[in-house]
Structure formats: C-alpha cells, structure tokens
Structure 1
Amino acid sequence: MNRLDKILAPVFPGLVAERLRARNVIQAFEGAQITRTHKAKKQTRSADVALQHAGKSLRDQSRKLDEDHDLVTGLFDRLEERVVGGSGIAVEPIPLDYSGAVHLDFAAAIKSLWGEWSLSPEASGELSRPQMERQICRTWLRDGEALAQELRGRVPNYEHLHAVPYALELLEPDYLPWEKNDLSQGIVQGIERSSWRRVKAFHLLKGHPGGTLGHGLTLDTKRVPAEQVIHIAYRKRIGQNRGQPLLHAVIIRLADIKDYEESERVAARISAALAMYIKKGVPDDYVEPKPDANGQLPSARTFPIGPGMVIDTLTPGEDIGMIESNRPNPFLEGFRNGQLKAIAAGTRVGYSSLSRSYDGTYSSQRQELVEAQLGYDQLQHDFIDSWCRRVYRSWLQMAIVSGALTVPADVDPRSIYGAIYQGPVMPWINPVHEANAWDVLVKAGFADEAEVCRARGRNPQELKRTRAAEIQTNRDDGLVFSSDFYHEIYGKTQANEQAKTKEKKPAADETGGVDGGDE
C-alpha cells in the first residue's frame, strides 16, 4: 500500500481494498505500464477540451499542407472524386401513390425542378450544385467541418435566382469561433445546446476572422437558430462538439516527408554540380597566394572539361580530387513508399491512389480497390446524411410551400420526401466479367435491373426513358441491333410465318392454282 492507502485503511477499509484491486488489474496489462521505452501517453480530457487546445492548429496546418504539399492536394482531390464525383450526388425522387407504386409523373416534376435549381444553388450564384458539394466535401475533410446558412423565402437585401425561394450561404468553419464559450447559456465553442445536448443555435461571426476588414479583432457574433444552419462535422468521439481534420493523425508524417524530400532535392542539385579540388603532397607545399600590384588576389585555377581531355598544367606534387556524393539516394523511393502506406492507412485512401503507383498485380489492385471503396462509401454516406439529405428535403419543402411544385392528390403524403441518393460507384476493373456476373444475378432473381443501373451510376427511370426512345427511333428507321431483343424475336417469327406461307403455295398450284396447268 502507498501512503494514502495506509492513512485511509483504518477508516475506509472497503475503499482501500477496491483501490488495491483496481491497481492490480491495471498492472496486469503491460500496455498500462510506463517503462523506459513505453511512455504510455494518455488522453483523459473530453473531446471538446482536447479540441479546444488543438482544433484550430490542426485545421490551419491541414490548410497549409493542402496549399503547398502535392501529396495532400492529390489526396483531397481523390477524395472529392470518390465521395462526390464530377456530377455530384445524384438524387432520384421516389414519391409513392397510395398503392405503393412510384408516382412517375410527380417524380419527373421534382427531378426537373431540382435540376434547374442545381445550376446555381448557393447565394452568390457562382457555383453549380456539383461544384458546391465538392467544395463542401473538401472543406469538411480538410478543416474537419463546414457550414451553410439556409436562405428561405424572403430575405432582406437578397433576391433568389430561381422559382424556389431557397439558397445556401456557404461558410468556412472560421465563422464558428472556438473562443465563444458561455456555460451559463449552454454555449460551447460557438454552438448553443440544450441540457440534452440538442443544438439550439449557432453563434457565427459577422465576418471572416482572417479577412481584410479587421473582423479577427473582435468576437462580434450573431445568433442563428439551428433550423437555419447546416453543420457537417468529421467527429471521432461520442459527444464531440466540433469536427477535426481528416489529417489529424498524419500531419507530422506528412510534414516530415515534405522536409525530407526537399533536403534530398537540394542534395541532388549539389551533387549534380561537378566540384574538384587540387591536392598537394604535403602541407609544406602550400604557398599562400600573394596579391598583385593592384592588391588583388589571383583567381582560382580553372580547367576546361571535355571528352578525352588531358590536364598537364599541374605543378610537381599536385593531384586533382573530386567531391563525391551518393545522391540521388537509392533508398529514397522505398522509404517514401513506406511512409505513404502509413498515410493511406490513416486517411481512408488507397495507397495506389495516394502515390499514383499502379504497378501491382491484377489481384492485388482489385483487392486494394475493393477495400478502399469501403472507406469511400462510409465517407459518402456520412456526407449524404449530414448534407445532401438535409439540402434536398429543405429545398423540396420550400418548392411545395412556394407553389413552384404542386403535389398530386394521389400521392401518399408520407412518401413525398422519399429519395435515393447516388454517389460515385466503384469502377469496373474487368467490365466483361462484372457484366456477366450482373447478368447471372438478374436472371436468377437475386438482383434487379434498377440495382445494376445504380451500380453503374445511372438513374433507372432516365435509362428506361432514353432506352425506349432509342428503340422506337431504330424501329421507325428500320434499324435492328442485337440489343433490341423484342424486335429480333418478332422479326424471326415474321420470317418463319412468311416461309411457311411460301411452302403452302405449290400445293395449291397443283390443284389448279395460279399457274393453272394443262386441262
């Protein structure tokens, strides 16, 4: 027992026994012991307290790396491509009628109005919806969070760009100050919550703290109700108030790689500059150069360099030596690749995608693609849940309230907001094999056509409409392709019937048909 246990033992023997029992349990694990080689660093603070001291620094470092580090720029570029993609997160409305079938007319009306709004959904009108989603996704993963204020209906000094009075004002997380804390009002790091931790409001700065108007000198904030703000955050702990950057665990490694590569580049440039020196036999042979009549020291001796050159201007006892360098370092690539694998493991990105190295076997490449896709899918679902679904439902609500969209009487009100959200899908490595696999699953009844269509990033209803129009055009123009199965079967049936008709004609002729015959 330690001194405290000895003091408490006469008065609280049960408490001391519990302390001793807990101490023995802790010491039973080697990982809990502090040794010369194991420091056993601990994190005992809450998520909010830990980020209060480190969140802003992590965010600023991640931004700087994205500005200056090619690996980080490529990492976030790839995450944009795999989480959001060039076309953005596709939304397929699926309102139902009272029989449970998709109301195709109402779904088409929603889709048409949604496509028009997607041309310029944010307040400035400069970004399309896919561009907006990519910027939000990058900010969310790089800075740890992103914000948007919803502009609904009439807003002072603002004019909506579409028939649906709904727009988004995009905000960087700097507008949500870490220093805004008031426990009496439930405000922690700029977010006001109830006693059950439900968000009530956001206290946003009126200007960017890093802007040119001096907003960083004051905490001049405005209270915005939670119903008007979308806050997407990358959280890692239960009860975490603010988000943390995706690079939080690999920032030091990335900075070290950048510094190390820069040192190697400088060393390689130095080694590329040929340097020679004249070596004399003994120190006594050295003669200190004397200035000339003008007081100038003689210039260094130079030798012309060329193939097959002969230097015969050396004095007795002199020799030419070269400064050798072992650069470029042959071990640089292996070390760098090992570091990149560790970075890929901590950022949900595939190593090949991060390093842009695709020299593995087909099996290893496919396995890596499948495993990396799981990480992309998780980020994609988080992005849809926190951003896309909220935006679509708010927009649809305003479209109905404003009268820009009329709900048919036969639509089930409970299904109005139903939709399928489709992001980038895993690309096919071997299209023939995968197409055959889908074909077998559909024929066996373990998959449907819509599932195959969505697996290729297409909207099933749009595909059917374009396919029907294409087939009808081909039939009108007399064109028959192998993909037109009905036309092919129908054509064969018609040809068989015509052949049978021709076979019956000679029999009729023998009894006095068209050709007649001798009477």
Structure 2
Amino acid sequence: MAKDQKKRSAKSSGKARAEGKKPPEATYEAAEPSKQRKFRRDRVAPDQLVQRGALAIRDQMRYLERNHDIARGIIRTMVNNVIGPNGIGIEPQPRRRDGTIHEEYANVLRSMLRQWARFPEVTHRHHFSKSQRLMAQAWFRDGEAWTQLLIGRVPNLTFRTPLPFALELFEADMVPMDYDDPSLNIRQGIQRNAWGQITGVYVYKTFPGDNNFLVRGTEAKRIPGDRILQLADLDRIGQLRGVSGMASIINRLEDVKDLEESERIAAKLAARLTAYVRKGDPQLYNPESVQTDDRGQPIQRDIAFDPGTIIDGLGAGEEIGLIDTKRPNPNIYTWRQGQLRAAAAGAGVSYSSAARDYDGTYSGQRQELVEQWVNYAVLTDEFVGQWLQPVWEAFVNTCDLSGVAPMPKDVDRALAHDCLFVGQSMPWIDPMKEAQAWQMLVQCGFASEVEVMRKRGVNPLDVLDQLVSWRTKAREKNLVLTSDAWHTKVGQLAAGIPSPAADDDDEDDDGATKADRRSMRARWSARAAYRASRRAARNHG
C-alpha cells in the first residue's frame, strides 16, 4: 500500500512538472489572498501608525464622551472600578536592614501623605484621589496623559503644605505630535538616547486650542525625562505615544448612536397621527357630489379626531385609514444588546455595567464579575506602575531631602519606598454568601482577617483603631456587644482573666439552682437506664 501511495505521489508530481506547475506546498490559508475577503498588509512602524491616526481618534472619542451617553458611561465605569471613590490607597512599608517594617517611619510617612493629598497639584483645585481620576479619564479617552514632578523651589509656585512637592497634570495635546528633529533624536515631541530611554519631553506653554496659543505661538519648553511621567496606552513594543484603547469600538458606538437617533425621530413621527380617505369602488364615485370652489378646485375637507367623535361626512364607498409606521421596532432592543456586548468586550468593561442590564441569576452575575475584574486589576497595575509608584518614590525622596520627614538611619534606603498599593475591591453581589465564605476561610486558616479587610477595600489599621476605640467606650458604659468575644469564657481565658468559681447555690434565670438541675439530670439518666434494662429483658425472654 505504501508503494502505491509513493507511485501516485510521484505520478502527480511528474504530471505537475510536465504541465509547468509546482506541486502544492503546505501554507496558512489565512496568509493567501482570496476573492472572498480583503487581504490586508501591515508593515507600518508603530510610531508612523500613531502619527496617522492618534489625533483623529482622540478627537472622535472626546466628541463621543461629550454627546453619547453610552461612551461616557463606559469611561466612567472604567474610572470608577480602577481608581474608585477614594483613589488607589498607599500603605507605607519602609523596611529595616533586617527586613522588618519600620512602623514609626511608616506612621510619619502616612501622616505626611494625608496632609499632602489635600493639595497635591499646582492649581490647588484637585485633591489626590480626584487627580488620579482625572489622569485615568484622560488615559482611557485620549490614550495618554502627562505629569511633571515639581520638587523644591519653583518660581511663582506656592506650596500649600510643608512638603515642597507638587504635580502638574496636562493632557496629550500639550506634547506636539508633529515635532521631529532627527539630529537630536526627537520624535513626536519626545527626545531619546541610543537605547530608547526618554531624556526629555517638549511641552507647549499654553494649550494648543486656546486663544493665547495663537498669540504666543508654538513655543515649547523642554522638561527633563526624570521629571516627567507618561501614562500611555501602548499596543506595540517601541511605541512612543499612546492611542486610545476605544479605537476599535468607535464605529460601533457611532452606529448605535445613529440608530437610536433614527428610532427616536421615527417614534416622534409615528406619534403624529396621519390618516387618509379611501374612495373605494370607482363606480360609486360621483364627481358632482364633490364640493368645488370658484375656480373649480375640490375643497379640502377637515376631519377632527377627538375622543368619541362620530364621523358622518363620508361619501358612498369612502373609509378612513391610518398609516402604519411599524414603530416602535420590536428588534431594536435585541440588536442594541448585541452591539453593546461587543463594545463592552472591546473596551474591557462588563456588559452589565455598560448597558445597565442586571438580569440573570446570582451565578451568572458573579461569573461575569469574576472574569471582568481581572481586566480592572490589569488596568490598576498599569496605572500604578506608570504613574502612582513613581509619584510615591518622588514623595518619599522629597520628604527626606527637605527634612520634613527625614529617613531614619536604621532604614534601608533601597527599601524605603516599599509600600502596598490598595486597589478597588470586587463588590459583593450577595453579602451574606460572601461573608459566610470568608468566615469559613478565616476559621479554617486559609485566609487572614487582614486579607478580608483588604478585599473589602478598607484599611485594616483603621478598622483596628475603630474597634479598639468603640469597644473601650462600650465597656466603660457596661454595654455588651455580640461582636465582642471578650465577654465569653473563651475570650476571658485568652485575655488571662480567671473565670469565677462555680457556685451550686447560684440561681439561673428561671429560679432553679445548679444543684437542682444536676439532680434532675441524674434522675432522668437513671430512669432511662431502667427502661433500657426492661426492654432488654423482654427481648431476651
């Protein structure tokens, strides 16, 4: 059989050579051109691709955010789930040389951060959590956002806190996309060295769309690379400028917006009642019965439509009909659901959040939430790595250099910036089920109380301080709380408090002494043993 296959193969190859054709080779079908689909080639450099479309995509997304409720809702959902109402928290954890946490220095940094977070940026208009949300919003909408780190004395700049450190936030328009100088290795407003590291960024002194920009011209200043942060959405390796991640869903959002507008217009037109008079059989039509004016033109009839109106002015064979507009369209809701599901997948948000459609079972909603929360966690990690962590490191260094919070000698300088960034916690769909599950994990030793608090988005140290303060006040007022295990025997033994000796004469709530109850239990046991012996004797007999 193998010989026959070889003969057929050799025969087909020989036939192909005889006809001047090459034998078929193994290949990917998707790599071959076809008449059924358009063949696309993409060999453009990432920076050149950004140069062509970044500005147009940025303008389009800003238009959609201003005028389309779905686009604004998607961006707001991403900002709320990545940054949250209180921002991404920072828990200082400076380490000693032996690896332990320096609690005293951590408390000093925590206190200084609380003061600085009120006025972290140069305009003194936004607190730290709002600054994070503004940066994230520009990042999701425009594809990138920039921040300049201002440390020490700066001309004409006043600091509202003892720490001489502030942030200057600006959008992507401030960095010119068309500023190139090959002699200085400047591309799209960014200067790099031979290894591609950013050494400087050229920034306009005024916003390009402002009237002052026309007066002052295209004057730009150079900011050193170690004093500027770029929060960018980069799709390819080596890409300099960011492009909005919403680029792939812009057309779909435009289609949804256009269809909804057309349906609204159609619904308004359908609400305007339009009727016609059908003449009926031509043989019943009498031209002489039609009233005419002086010029012989038929006089138009006005028929009033009011509730309960009786129309008796129709001629023989005439009837009134209404134009059916087929509105509302019964398929619009299903079509809109499918489009929003695809748009939500491209944007990285859940369909329930984008469409505000929360129908489904508990298991289905939780599965969607679990799968979707990974995307929010990834965005949180990128935000921390590109922006929040460099800001925190500059904050700690400024505290040390300015003398506001000097670094202790026993702190390892390489680990002085160590901290824990606390992102948003996954919400609980059914609080009772979630609480019972975490309680079982903690009791079995598979999780810690601190982890549960972190998952709920609270600071364990703050919760501990609140518990100590509240329970101390409750004990001072002789209040017994069910959540306080100190009042139980186990809690008192763990606290080293000896339990009082048992007294047989102490009465219970119903007035019976403990000795009476023990004698009663003894009589019940004796009676049960007597009955058991009688049953055994009868069975033996």
TM-score of the pair, normalised by structure 1? 0.86
Q: Which runs of 5+ in 2 are unaligned?
A: 1-20, 507-541
Q: Which moved more, 1:48-57 or 1:426-435?
A: 426-435
| Paired position in structure 1 for 2:462 | 462
| Paired position in structure 2 for 1:258 | 257
In the alignment, the residues of structure 2 paired with residue 300 and residue 457 of structure 1 have an alpha-carbon distance, to the nearest angstrom, of: 73
| Paired position in structure 2 for 1:16 | none
Report the 3-state secondary structure (helix = DSSP H, G, I; strand = E; otherwise coil) of the residue aligned with 2:191.
strand
Offset of residue 112 of structure 1:
1.0
CA contact (8 A) 1:400 1:407 kept: yes
Pair 1:183 & 2:150 matched: no
Residue type matched to 2:382 in 1? D
| Paired position in structure 2 for 1:382 | 382
Q: 1:36 to 1:500 in 2, by over 3 A?
A: same
Q: Which moved more, 1:353-362 or 1:446-455?
A: 446-455
In the alignment, the residues of structure 2 paired with residue 213 and residue 55 of structure 1 have an alpha-carbon distance, to the nearest angstrom, of: 24
Identity %: 36
CA contact (8 A) 1:180 1:188 kept: yes
Offset of residue 292 of structure 1:
5.5
In the alignment, the residues of structure 2 paired with residue 77 and residue 279 of structure 1 have an alpha-carbon distance, to the nearest angstrom, of: 54
Alignment of 1:33-182 (within 5 A): 33-182=32-181
Report the 3-state secondary structure (helix = DSSP H, G, I; strand = E; otherwise coil) of the residue aligned with 1:239.
coil
Offset of residue 142 of structure 1:
0.6
CA contact (8 A) 2:489 2:499 kept: no
Offset of residue 470 of structure 1:
2.2
In the alignment, the residues of structure 2 paired with residue 233 and residue 208 of structure 1 have an alpha-carbon distance, to the nearest angstrom, of: 19
Q: Deviations over 1:261-282 (max 9, x none)?
A: 1011111111111001223345
Offset of residue 153 of structure 1:
0.7
Offset of residue 291 of structure 1:
6.3
Alignment of 1:247-326 (within 5 A): 247-281=246-280, 282=282, 300-326=300-326
In the alignment, the residues of structure 2 paired with residue 166 and residue 215 of structure 1 have an alpha-carbon distance, to the nearest angstrom, of: 32
In the alignment, the residues of structure 1 paired with residue 423 and residue 90 of structure 2 have an alpha-carbon distance, to the nearest angstrom, of: 9
| Paired position in structure 2 for 1:12 | none
Residue type matched to 1:165 in 2? P
Alignment of 1:12-31 (within 5 A): 24=25, 28-31=27-30
Q: Which moved more, 1:283-292 or 1:343-352?
A: 283-292
TM-score of the pair, normalised by structure 2? 0.83
Q: Deviations over 1:295-345 (max 9, x none)?
A: 9x8874222223443211123454322211101000000000000000011
Pair 1:432 & 2:443 matched: no
Q: Which runs of 5+ in 1 are unaligned?
A: 1-19, 504-519
CA RMSD of aligned residues (A): 2.6
Pair 1:199 & 2:202 matched: no
| Paired position in structure 1 for 2:406 | 406
In the alignment, the residues of structure 1 paired with residue 298 and residue 188 of structure 2 have an alpha-carbon distance, to the nearest angstrom, of: 69
Report the 3-state secondary structure (helix = DSSP H, G, I; strand = E; otherwise coil) of the residue aligned with 1:119.
coil
Report the 3-state secondary structure (helix = DSSP H, G, I; strand = E; otherwise coil) of the residue aligned with 1:125.
coil
Q: Deviations over 1:163-212 (max 9, x none)?
A: 11111111010011110111221111111111111111101112111112
Residue type matched to 2:192 in 1? R
Report the 3-state secondary structure (helix = DSSP H, G, I; strand = E; otherwise coil) of the residue aligned with 1:235.
coil
Report the 3-state secondary structure (helix = DSSP H, G, I; strand = E; otherwise coil) of the residue aligned with 1:171.
strand
In the alignment, the residues of structure 2 paired with residue 488 and residue 100 of structure 1 have an alpha-carbon distance, to the nearest angstrom, of: 38
CA contact (8 A) 2:96 2:102 kept: yes
Residue type matched to 1:231 in 2? Q
Q: Which moved more, 1:282-291 or 1:71-80?
A: 282-291
Q: Deviations over 1:364-421 (max 9, x none)?
A: 1110001110111111111111111111111121111111112233333332111000
Q: 1:286 to 1:263 in 2, by over 3 A?
A: farther
Offset of residue 484 of structure 1:
1.8
Offset of residue 138 of structure 1:
0.5
CA contact (8 A) 1:480 1:488 kept: no
In the alignment, the residues of structure 1 paired with residue 216 and residue 275 of structure 2 have an alpha-carbon distance, to the nearest angstrom, of: 57
In the alignment, the residues of structure 1 paired with residue 300 and residue 141 of structure 2 have an alpha-carbon distance, to the nearest angstrom, of: 54
Offset of residue 436 of structure 1:
2.8
In the alignment, the residues of structure 2 paired with residue 326 and residue 217 of structure 1 have an alpha-carbon distance, to the nearest angstrom, of: 58
Give the number of equivalent residue pairs. 479
CA contact (8 A) 2:442 2:448 kept: yes
Pair 1:370 & 2:370 matched: yes
Which of 491, 500, 503 aligns to 1:497? It is 500
In the alignment, the residues of structure 2 paired with residue 317 and residue 430 of structure 1 have an alpha-carbon distance, to the nearest angstrom, of: 66
In the alignment, the residues of structure 2 paired with residue 426 and residue 289 of structure 1 have an alpha-carbon distance, to the nearest angstrom, of: 76
Q: Which moved more, 1:453-462 or 1:64-73?
A: 453-462
